[in-house]
Structure 1
Amino acid sequence: MKPKNIGIQMTDKALLFINGVPPENLPDTINYSLIACSDGAFHYLKEKGFPLEKLDFISGDFDSHSGKDETIYHEKFIFTPDQNKTDFEKSLEIIKERGYKEVDVYGGSGGEMDHFLGNLTVAFIFKDDLKITFFDDHSHYFFAPNILVLNDVKNKLISLYPFPKAENITTKGLKWSLIKENLEITNRIGTRNFAQENSVTIEFDTGNLVVFIGN
Structure 2
Amino acid sequence: MKLKNTGIRMTDHKNKVLLFINGDAPKYFPNPENYDLIACTDGAFHYLKNLGFPLDKLDFISGDFDSHSGSDENVYDDKFIYTPDQDKTDFHKALEIIVQKGFATVDVFGGSGGEQDHFLGNLTVAFGFKDQLNIIFYDEFSEYYFVPKNFTVKGVKDKMVSLYPFPTVENITTKGLNWPLINGNLSITSRIGTRNFAVENEVSIEYEKGDLLIFIGKNYL
Shift of 1:64: 2.2
Q: Given residue 156 of structure 1, which amino acid in structure 2 is its aligned partner? A: K
The match for 1:135 among 124, 135, 138 is: 138
Match status 1:150 vs 2:131: no
Q: Given residue 178 of structure 1, which amino acid in structure 2 is its aligned partner? A: L
Alpha carbon RMSD of aligned pairs, Å?
Answer: 1.1
The match for 1:159 among 145, 158, 162 is: 162
Per-residue CA distance 1:133-172 (angstroms, 9 max, x = gap): 0000000000001111111100000000000001111110
**Residue number in structure 1 paired with 2:178:** 175
Q: Given residue 30 of structure 1, which amino acid in structure 2 is its aligned partner? A: E
Shift of 1:31: 1.3
The match for 1:116 among 80, 99, 119 is: 119
Match status 1:38 vs 2:36: no
Match status 1:16 vs 2:19: yes
**Residue number in structure 2 paired with 1:80:** 83
Q: How does 1:190-201 map to 2 (within 5 A)?
A: 190-201=193-204
Contact 1:167 1:207 in 2 (8 A): yes
TM-score by length of structure 1 reads: 0.94
User: 26-35 or 61-70, which moves further after superposition?
Assistant: 61-70
The match for 2:74 among 58, 67, 71 is: 71
Equivalent residue of 2:172, what SS?
A: strand
Equivalent residue of 1:75, what SS?
A: coil
In structure 1, list runs of 5 or more residues that go unmatched. Answer: 1-8
Counterparts of 1:62 and 1:170, CA distance in 2: 46
Equivalent residue of 2:157, what SS?
A: coil
Counterparts of 1:180 and 1:10, CA distance in 2: 34
Q: What is the count of residue pairs matched by the alignment?
A: 207
Shift of 1:131: 0.6
Counterparts of 2:21 and 2:136, CA distance in 1: 13
Q: Given residue 68 of structure 2, which amino acid in structure 1 is its aligned partner? A: H
Contact 1:10 1:33 in 2 (8 A): no
Q: Given residue 154 of structure 1, which amino acid in structure 2 is its aligned partner? A: K
The match for 2:65 among 43, 62, 65 is: 62
Contact 1:10 1:30 in 2 (8 A): no
Per-residue CA distance 1:55-90 (angstroms, 9 max, x = gap): 000001112223321111000000011111000000
Counterparts of 1:159 and 1:70, CA distance in 2: 41
Identity of aligned residues (%): 65
Counterparts of 2:189 and 2:66, CA distance in 1: 40
Contact 1:175 1:196 in 2 (8 A): yes
Contact 1:144 1:209 in 2 (8 A): yes
Counterparts of 1:156 and 1:64, CA distance in 2: 38
Counterparts of 2:34 and 2:182, CA distance in 1: 37
Counterparts of 2:70 and 2:93, CA distance in 1: 23
